[in-house]
Amino acid sequence: MMSLPFLIFACALGAAWLRQRGVAIGLWVAGLVVLLVLFRIHVTEVLSISL
């Protein structure tokens, strides 16, 4: 699952190379959403700082 955003961005690059700009940008948005979800999943520890 952690490799999924790399795969999506690699596909976005492939689409860009094939001159499919809309597809490339769509894939980039999907990759960014997956990245944010994975970030949320891995933010599990409470920071040991008091503000």
Token pair in block for residue 38: 């994975």
Instruction: Please state, in angstroms and as integers, the Cα–Cα distance from residue 19 to each residue in 12, 29, 38, 39, following that order.
Output: 11, 17, 29, 31
Q: Minimum CB separation from other proteins for residue 13, in Å?
A: 5
From residue 21 to residue 40, what is the string marking binding to other proteins with x (rule CB under 8 A)?
x--xx--x--xx--xx-xx-
Kindly list the residues in this chain that would bind other proteins in the complex (CB under 8 A).
Answer: 1-3, 5-7, 9-10, 12-14, 16-17, 19, 21, 24-25, 28, 31-32, 35-36, 38-39, 41-43, 45, 47-49
